[in-house]
Every structure is written in C-alpha cells, then in structure tokens.
Chain A
Amino acid sequence: MAALTDLTIAQLSATLAKKEASAVEVADAHLGKLDEHRALNAFITETPDKAREMAKASDARRARGEAGLLEGVPLAIKDLFCTEGVQTTAASAILKGFVPPYESTVTANLWKSGAVMVGKTNLDEFAMGSSNMTSHFGGVENPWKRKGDNRKLVPGGSSGGSAAAVAAYMVPGSTGTDTGGSIRQPASFCGIVGLKPTYGRCSRWGVVAFASSLDQPGPFARTVEDTALMLQAMSGHDPKDSTSAPLPVPDFAAAARNPDIRGMRVGIPKEYRVDGTSEEIVTLWARGVDMLKAAGAEPVEVSLPHTKYALPAYYIVAPAECSSNLARYDGVRFGLRVPGKDLTELYENTRGAGFGKETRRRILIGTYVLSAGYYDAYYRKAQQIRALIARDFKQAFEKCDVLLTPTAPTAAFAAGDKMDDPVTMYLNDMFTIPASMAGLPGISVPAGLDKDGLPLGLQLIGRAFDEETLLRAAAALEKAAAFSGRATGY
C-alpha cells in the first residue's frame, strides 16, 4: 500500500471509507511530514493537538455513518483565514497576539465537511507579494530545486506556504487566497494545481482583507479533481459577505471527473505573447494548445486588447483598497501597540513598526492615489480601465468557452531575486491579474518541466460562475500533460 501521505484527497477518502486507515492515523502520518520538513518554513503555526482532536471526532462521525465530503482529510490553512482559538497573523507583526474568537466561513465549511486542520501556513504579509519573501516570519522555501543547483527557490506568493506544503506532501490540500495571482502563481512555481474561483463563489467573511473587490479564497491540491472537491466544500452563499453570490453549489467534482472537451472552444489571447516570457513557457503554451486540440477542443485566436494595462491598473486599485482596509490596524483595539506622546504618534509608531516594507509601500501608494486632487487621475482612471478589461473578456467569451494562457512568465526564481525593484516583482503576475480584475475564475495546472527541472503551469480562465467548464478543461489538460514531476530537493 502507498504511504498515506502520498495519497490524493480522493484516494484518502476511499482509504478512509474502506476503513483501511483511521482519520487519526492519517493525521499522524501528515503531522510526521510537518516535523520532517519544518525547515521549509511553510507553516507559521502548527496545530497537532487540534488535528488529532478533530481527527478523533471525524472517526467518531464516520463510525456513526455521518461522513462528509472531506471526512478525515488533513488540510493546511493559509494564515489569512481567521480560525477560532488559533492565532491568526496574516504574516504581519501588527497582528501580534491576535486570536480570533470566530471562524471564517470558508474554514467553517471545510470543518463541516469533515476536514482536519494541521496548521496555518506562511504567506506574504497581508497577502502582498509574489515570492513569500515579505512575511514577518521569514520566507518559505520551495521544495523544488534546479537540477545540480542547491540554491533555495521561492515558492511564489502570496500563498507560498500553502503551495509548498502540498508540493512537499505535508498535506494533500490547502487553502489560499488570490487577489492578483496569489493562488495560481505559487501553484505554477510548486508544480501543483491551484484554483481561483469566480469572485463571490467563496465567502470572504473572516478572511483578513487586502483588496476587497479582488480577494477570493480558493484551493490548492495535487490534482484537478481534488481542487474541485475542496471548492465544493468551501463554496456557497454566505449572508455575512454581501458580495457572496446567492447561487447553488454545482457538483464540481463531477465536472472534474469528466475531461470530455470535444467541441469546446479554447481561446488563445494574442496579447499574452509578451516580451520577458521565457521561451520554454511560450513553447509549453503552444504544446498545451496542441494537447487540448488533440483532445477534441477547437482552438480560437481571441483578442484582449487592454491586457497590458491590467497590471498598472491593479497597482492602483489594490493598494487603494489595501490602504483603506489596513487603516483598522491602529494599535488601539488589538495587535501590536507602540506608545507615542499623543494619539497620532501612537498610530504612526504602531503602524511604522508593525507593517513590513512592502505593506508600507502599498499603503503609501494607496493613500496617494486616493488623496485629494489625485483621485480622478489615478483611482477613477484605473476603475475605468478595469471596466474595459472586463469588457474585453466578455467579448472574447462570445467566441470561446475557456481561455488558455501561461500562468507566470518564468519558473520559480531564487530567494532574494527580483527584490531590488518592486515593478520587476509585480510583473510576475502579468498573466493572472487580468482575470482577477474581471472577477473570473482561473486555474493553474502543472504542464511540464523546464530545462532546469522546474515545474511550469498553464492557466485556464473561465466565464464567471462557470467553474464546471473550467474544471473539465483543466482535467483534460491534466490528463494530456500527464505531469508526474515531484519535488526532490528538500
């Protein structure tokens, strides 16, 4: 029998259902991997006691015949989701000592479906970053390494710990959040599947806010089917989030088990052929088109004319929302507090000491673009461009059912690279941000290895609330690419 930690979520569920292992045994096996790979720094908080307690309760439910969709499956949770009684840091010093007295809707849904929490994963501070290097708790190491090169690579970001934990087989699945690519880009860097659902599919309630019009929780796993299973458990209308869509949850897993894409029109946006993309990624993208064509899909060239403006527009919209959302961290009611001679100085000292460099930078950008005299030139302009980007997608989807693009312009880079100039780091998200701006679902599927042996992902983008078509296409791509790479450098 394969090791419990090698199994996918679907395989674990079958193993547990057949009583070949108990949820406690499954939890213990995965907790052992957390011990073994602690050096990756994928977790900010490990919760072994809670995991065993939840696993025990899961075994009891199963004995009573009450097994849920993810009964007994161990999961890691990005430390941006509030978890009752377990410290939640957002990887920031400013939330020091914060223990939420409530549970986020998404995690509550996962526990309701029987899943077991093993810990809270590392991330870029407040989910702002593409390398996991902005975490107050230090960077996460990607389990993958270049062939013959021992340098540490980044797992991508912001959900870097969640991606690394799945790639290192510490857990079969984890949660992330995606504002501009924070699920898809780390999935590509770590050779796993990462799904950003349609904005509104998963509740944002209890998720520490970064940019509220863009933030969306989603799953990581090693197969498309597993991400579908997790999405099914995570989604659903939540009256506590006014932007949560009042729609029923489709059978996502059934869609992922049906890779029949005969007749599906796959759009290839010509504007995604941009300078700076690695030649190998361009080649892989072309191979992806061929694979889907061979599976019966019909490739169609489409145009998304405002693609290149998505990134700079995002760097107005996201910081603007961030500067407003992060105004709540003032040192008065919770978290870090650095005294000052008056109230203003208390605010300034606390925020100056509590926020890291990238967070401070984005708060400043946001404050500037929202300040008197600049609002129209920047914020309003960016919102207009956002409307044009959404219109581009709408028009493209008249000609196709899904879009296929690269996920990221490069493979994982070395820790410390791209840190000199913020714009260089921002460019990592050039292929993921347009769909975020339009609120569309996107999925990164590992599709090949580069010459250094590092994984590369391809991205599929779907229509709003049509994750089923997206999952079918992703399953077809997964089947054709037959990615079998596994990180060995850790």
Chain B
Amino acid sequence: MSLDKDTVARIARLARLKVPDEELAPLAGELSGIFAWIEQLNEVDTKNVEPMSSVSDVTLPMRADKVTDGGVAAKVLANAPGGAVYIDPSDRNAGGFFTVPKVVE
C-alpha cells in the first residue's frame, strides 16, 4: 500500500489537520512505510473470526436515574475561553453560560 501526496492531503483534510505543503511528501513516504509494514496482517486468515472491540466482557452497566452530583457550576464553567457568564452573579448555581469566541456567522 503506497500513499501519495494527494491522499495524505485528503486524510489531513478529513482529520481537520493543517499539514504544510512541504511536509506532505515526507509524510506520504513515512505513512507508506508504516502501511507496507502493516500489510503483513494479510498473511493471517481471519475468516469467521469475530472482531474484538473490547477486552472487557462485561455488559455495559446500568445505573439508577438519579442526581448524584451538582452545585458545581463555577467548576463547569472554569475553562470557558470566553469566560463564565452567570445569570445571577450572587447565585452561581442559578444558571450560567459557557462562552466561547464567536465561531459561526
């Protein structure tokens, strides 16, 4: 499997990752090397083998539908890049907004 520059540019676009033009060719070379090495997996016959997505064979646990946490509005909003905005600054748990710089017109 060999990846060309255009394929790398397409994957980078899918991953929302800016890759400078001059890095595309070296990256294509590196990734081709990695995929060539990965090709050896084709030696293995995997017909009728169930794919394993997790090693834990427990079923997803259920929990009671009740409030177990809360009253931490200030913590929740602490990392907001636009700052925390409270409806009522004297009662922070009355509600607030996690504000971010404008990203949509």
Contact = CB atoms under 8 A, between A and B. Distances in A.
A381 B58 contact: no
Given A312-B40, A387-B51, A390-B52, A352 B33 contact: no
Contacts of A293: none
Given A312-B41, A361-B27, A422-B34, A101 B78 contact: yes
Contacts of A200: 55-56, 58
Interface string A305-329: 0101100110110000001000100
A332 B100 contact: yes
A256 to B, nearest CB: 24
21 contacts: A246-B58, A246-B61, A323-B15, A330-B16, A332-B81, A337-B101, A348-B16, A349-B18, A351-B17, A351-B18, A361-B27, A364-B31, A367-B14, A383-B51, A383-B52, A384-B52, A386-B51, A386-B52, A388-B49, A422-B33, A423-B34
B94 interface: no
A489 B23 CA distance: 38
A367 B31 CA distance: 12
B55 to A, nearest CB: 3
Interface in A392-445: 421-423, 438-439
Interface string B45-74: 010011111111010110100000000100
A461 B67 CA distance: 41
Nearest to B53: A383
A344 to B, nearest CB: 7
Interface in B73-105: 75-76, 78-81, 98, 100-101, 103-104
Interface of B: 3, 7-8, 11-20, 27, 30-31, 33-34, 37-38, 40-44, 46, 49-56, 58, 60-61, 63, 72, 75-76, 78-81, 98, 100-101, 103-104
A309 B11 contact: no
Given A242-B61, A309-B43, A315-B38, 20 more contacts: A101-B78, A213-B55, A245-B56, A312-B38, A315-B34, A332-B81, A333-B81, A344-B16, A351-B17, A351-B18, A352-B20, A353-B18, A355-B17, A360-B19, A368-B7, A380-B51, A381-B41, A383-B51, A386-B51, A423-B33
B18 A439 contact: no
Interface in A185-214: 199-200, 213
Given A361-B30, A364-B11, A243 B46 contact: no
A302 interface: no
Contact of A239 (B16, B33, B61): B61
Nearest to B51: A383
B49 A371 contact: no
Contact of B56 (A102, A199, A355): A199
What is the size category of the interface that chain A forms with chain B?
Answer: 35 or more
Contacts of A382: 41
A397 B64 CA distance: 38
Q: Helix, strand, loop or mixed for chain A's interface?
A: helix
B89 to A, nearest CB: 19
A108 interface: no
Top 4 nearest A-B pairs by Cβ distance? Answer: A352-B18, A439-B55, A383-B51, A101-B75
Contacts of A166: none
Nearest to A100: B79
Contacts of B33: 421-423
A380 B51 CA distance: 6
Contacts of A316: 38, 41
B55 A367 contact: no
A98 interface: yes
A346 interface: yes
Contact of A333 (B11, B15, B100): B100
Interface of A: 98-99, 101-102, 199-200, 213, 239, 242-243, 245-246, 306, 308-309, 312-313, 315-316, 323, 327, 330, 332-334, 337, 343-344, 346-349, 351-353, 355, 360-361, 363-365, 367-368, 371, 378, 380-388, 390, 421-423, 438-439, 464
Given A101-B79, A364-B31, A333 B56 contact: no
B14 to A, nearest CB: 5
Contacts of B14: 367, 371
Given A246-B58, A333-B100, A365 B46 contact: no
B29 to A, nearest CB: 10
Contact of A422 (B30, B58, B63): B30
Contacts of B16: 327, 330, 344, 347-348, 351
Contacts of B50: 384, 387
Contact of B54 (A213, A353, A464): A213
Contacts of B49: 384, 387-388
B40 A309 contact: yes
Contacts of B12: 364
Most buried by A among B27, B41, B58: B41
Given A383-B53, A385-B41, A365 B98 contact: no
Nearest to B54: A213
A334 B53 contact: no
Contact of A384 (B30, B51, B56): B51
